[in-house]
Structure 1
Amino acid sequence: MRKPSKKRQQGAVSIVVALSLLVLLGVLGLAIDSGFGYMIRAKLDAAADGAAIAAGQAVTRGADQATQTANAQQAATAFFAANYPAGFLGSTATLASPSITFNQGTVTIDIAAQAQVPVSFMQLFGFKLLKVTTSSESVRKDLDMSLIIDTTGSMATDPTVPPAVRSAAITFLQQFDQLADRISLLHFAYGTVVDQPFNGNSRGFDLAAMTSSINAFNFSGSTNSAEAYWNALDQLNDVITQPSSLRVIVFFSDGAPNSFASIFGANATNTACSSFAGTIISGDTPNTPAAMYYDNVQSQKYASPCYSNSASNVVTQLPQWYNAHNTTWLDNQTIPVITNTPRVVTSAINYANVNNAARNIAEAMANQARSQGIYVFAIGRGSELLQPEGANGEIGQDVLKCMANTPDSLPRCYNPAQPVGVYCQALTPADLTPCFSKLASEILRISK
């Protein structure tokens, strides 16, 4: 048998080596070019996702859908350009015109982008460009929100506070979609006034009317927080029969609750006062409770004989249950007045019982909201909320945190199974707008 010559063997090996090098070069080129592709894809994804979020925030601005669409598209384009630098790794990126779709309060924003970059080693195999595409979608949920503003007399002790409250509240409302979001506006002291109710199931809100109402606020009376919550919940549960996917209560106050409304047992000589609800007040320091004030007016006493600066002259005892209203979502035996928890309340008409009951009922109202899937956000104004007050020397800030169900609230309050809200402390009037802005940002974040 004839053996192949060494020259033939060497030639065959050379061909194999050359082919192997070519394959190896191709694999190396593919790895290098693919690596560039992955980096470009990551940058493109981040820019597209950010553009979708930016558009979702901007789409709330404008009094008509054409303006909102233009604002959203402009924001998306600007964010994309800022976050995908021109010529990144030698690539050229293109953002398609963002698609904005409105559907009964929900806005869907679709983003599509692509980038292409010249390849190096892969040109050996006939490829000249590497194309990378991505897409992102942002869905802004429809929103129902009740905004509650404290207009008690303590707000007016510093003359710079009322204008700061008005400005911050109006700026807050401007962050939301006048065409799609449903917002009701309420203010409270002894009683609660619904300034701008929801318009049934119709979407949108009247920013001009709300601005006018806020600018007309005056500040007097004590803190009946429970009545404010009841009215906010009534707006969300009864006025609206087709709720949005996101429901929120924003509660702004400078003090812990110290008053509440109910139907009280009247004196034998004063039976006329036992047929309707009124507010009984305790104040923040030990005093003699007074009663009764209207529960649907900011600050107004009932006419004689249904008012006395000593409540025991008008009513004989506190009721067993909060019974100021009876509705389908809250009956007359849902929230106890006489109770051992979280604060002890007996039926006697005295400062401690009225003060404790006011706080218990307000916290229970907030809990009622959260049990229905409603987020509660709270803003506390002033350093007084950091000082002990009330019958148990409580810190007012703790009460507001309990209402909002924040992770840093009192252990007895925090319930991770319920919507977790946000609390912001505005120590000075200058802090009010940042606090309202923080809440607006958080609401817009969870609406996506």
Structure 2
Amino acid sequence: MKRIATPKRQKGSVSVIVAVSLIALLGIIGLAVDSGLGYMIKARLDAATDGAVIAAGEAVTRGNNQTEQTTNAQQAASAFFTANYPAGFLGSNATAGTPSVVFNAGTVTIGMTAQASVPVTFMQTLGFKVLNVSASSQAIRKTLDMAFVIDNTGSLNSPGVPAAVRSNAIAFLNNFDVTNDRVALMHFAFGTVVDVPFNGNTRGFDRATMAADINNYTFNGNTNSAEAIWNARNQLNTVITQPSSLRVIVFFSDGAPNSFSSFFPTNQSACNNNKAGTIASGDATNGFLSGLDSISALSQPFPSPCYKNGLTKTNDAGTLVTALPKWYNAHNINEQIFPIWPVTAPRAVPNGNVTYVNVNRVSRNLLEAMAAQARIEGTYVFTLGYGPELVAPAGPDNEIGEDVLKCMANTPDSLPRCYNPQQPVGVFCYAATPADLLPCFTQLASQILRISK
């Protein structure tokens, strides 16, 4: 009779399998725990290097030459990294490399790398003792062409205001790169003076000369804003033939426009010499007009031969000017880009009669049309408004000057007829007091630098 064989007990084999399985399980757990720790360190390292190169991109504008700019950029990057990656974060040890700053044809490329290591726990069962992670970031600062326009009208000539305008306008320029950015400076009242034009396609700008010009500004005259925007566009479109990737007009004013320039026919033969002039309507609703003034000076009346038979610049200009031209033509008598009359919107100017209402409305229509044309051409418009006059009703239609500046900048909170999201969207900032000018100028500079990256 055969016996049936019974299986032998395998206690030892099971123990080995369990031990091996535990080691594998610990390895899997260790991989999950330590890898999770590594991901958190990696995320913090990425954020620190990203922020560092952005900070360097802002700091690289400071300095009078590339050596100073490189030093400032590297110091800013290192300071930002140290502040945003705390020593010993999650037990790690991090080191950051010296940021690279490369200037090339107007573009500045900033790069930074960093590494971090942290001892592992569970993964030691798989033979790992340290987990290493790394990060690298790069920021490219776009080239910038900027026309900086400053209002010098008489309404700004009140205690403390001129000094605040001068100091903060100069501080605003300190945010930009004197070796790579291109900046043109101009100021306006009855006419516009281009203090420092663009130097053709040459990179950089003369900040010291601009500061000296701004410090010499006086404040007098009416608000011929359209002439200022025309000059800003002309600088960007004709003086520069190789435009930068970012083009900006920064426009500072304390009120809505009330003047405009063109070739005006007059009843004085001495004035009909193919010379463009400025006619002003003022802000009151008394129907008073003044002019004619030079379009290339802050406040300079036409020569006295224009004012015969008892006429003066301060007389009603309607006595001197016989009609309004149909087109804005201050720089080319045959130019037909911006209509003056007849127009129905945004403000109706039905005829060429020389009236207070027509002149005031034309002044505002032209400004908005020229700003819109700049945006169509791909230029951002940033506006800064100052003072109580900007938020008080003025002109024949009791308009708020702030609304005009918002329309120029194409801000989402501008009048519904103005906002066009398909065009460059700029920024408007309102400074109620002289003390508010600094944060407003700072905000505009920060927004321009943000879109330049």
Give me the TM-score of the superposition, normalised by structure 2: 0.95
The alignment status of 1:426 with 2:431, answered yes or no, reads: yes
Shift of 1:26: 0.5
Cα distance in 1 for residues equivalent to 2:296 and 2:5: 115
* Aligned residue type for 2:274: S
- Match among 327, 330, 338 for residue 324 of structure 1: 330
The C-alpha deviation readout for 1:28-85, integer Å capped at 9, x for no partner, is 0000100100000010011000100110011111111111111111111111001000
Residue identity opposite 1:99 in structure 2? S
Listed as ranges, the matches of 1:167-182 within 5 Å are: 167-182=167-182
Comparing 274-283 and 51-60, the one that deviates more:
274-283
Aligned length in residues:
441
What are the ranges of 5 or more consecutive residues in structure 1 without an aligned counterpart?
A: none
Q: Which amino acid is 2:172 matched to?
A: F
Please name the residue that 2:295 is paired with: 295
Aligned to 2:362: 357
Secondary structure in 1 matching 2:145: strand
Give the match's secondary structure for 1:204.
coil
Question: What is aligned with 2:284?
Answer: 285
Paired AA for residue 120 in structure 2: V
Deviations, residues 106-140 of structure 1 (Å, cap 9, x unaligned): 10000111101111111111111111011100111
Unaligned runs of 5+ in 2: 308-312
SS of the residue corresponding to residue 359 of structure 1 reads helix
Aligned partner (choices 315, 321, 333) of residue 315 of structure 1? 321
For 2:25 and 2:331, locate their aligned partners in 1 and report how far apart those are by CA, in whole Å.
Answer: 81
Retained in 1: the 8 A contact 2:23–2:125?
no
Q: How far 1:86 sits from its partner (Å)?
A: 0.3
Aligned counterparts of 1:368 and 1:102: Cα–Cα separation in 2 = 32
8 Å Cα contact 1:291/1:306 also seen in 2: no
In the TM superposition, what are the counterparts of 1:14-413 in structure 2 within 5 Å? 14-156=15-157, 158-267=158-267, 270=269, 272-273=271-272, 275-286=274-285, 287-306=287-306, 308=313, 309-326=315-332, 332-338=335-341, 339-345=343-349, 346-413=351-418
C-alpha distance in 1, partners of 2:319/2:135?
73
- Equivalent position SS for 1:265: coil
CA distance in 2: counterparts of 1:266 and 1:4, whole angstroms? 124
Partners of 1:131 and 1:3 in 2: CA distance = 55
CA distance in 2, matches of 1:326, 1:407: 34
**Residue 305 (structure 1) shift:** 4.2
Q: Secondary structure at the match of 2:322?
A: strand
Q: CA deviation at 1:306?
A: 3.3
In the TM superposition, residue 271 of structure 1 has moved relative to its aligned partner by 7.2
Tell whether the 8 Å contact from 2:385 to 2:429 is kept in structure 1 after alignment.
yes
> What is the match of residue 11 of structure 1?
12
* Offset of residue 263 of structure 1: 1.2
Q: 1-side partners of 2:106 and 2:388: how far apart?
A: 39
Which letter does structure 2 place at the counterpart of 1:294?
S
> C-alpha root-mean-square deviation of aligned residues, in Å?
1.4
CA distances 1:228-259 after superposition (whole Å, capped 9, x unpaired): 00111111111111111111100000010000
> Do 1:265 and 1:274's aligned partners in 2 also have CA atoms closer than 8 Å?
no
The farther-off stretch of 251-260 and 20-29 is 20-29
C-alpha distance in 1 between matches for 2:289 and 2:261: 13
With normalisation by structure 1, the TM-score equals 0.96
Change (3 A) 1:2 1:305: farther
State the secondary structure of the residue aligned to 2:159.
Answer: coil
Q: How far off is 1:332 after superposition?
A: 1.7
What CA distance in whole angstroms lies between the structure 2 residues aligned with 1:326 and 1:435?
36
Superposed CA deviations along residues 259-302 of structure 1, whole A, max 9, x for unmatched, are 000112333x5374262211111000122212211111110110
- What secondary structure is seen at the aligned counterpart in 1 of 2:102? strand
1:413 and 1:274, CA in 2 relative to 1: closer, same or farther beyond 3 A? farther
Query: Given residue 319 of structure 2, which amino acid in structure 1 is its aligned partner?
Result: N
The residue matched to 1:352 in structure 2 has which SS?
A: helix
Query: How far apart in 1 are the matches of 2:92 and 2:36?
Result: 13
| Alignment check: 8 A CA contact 1:149 1:186 kept | yes
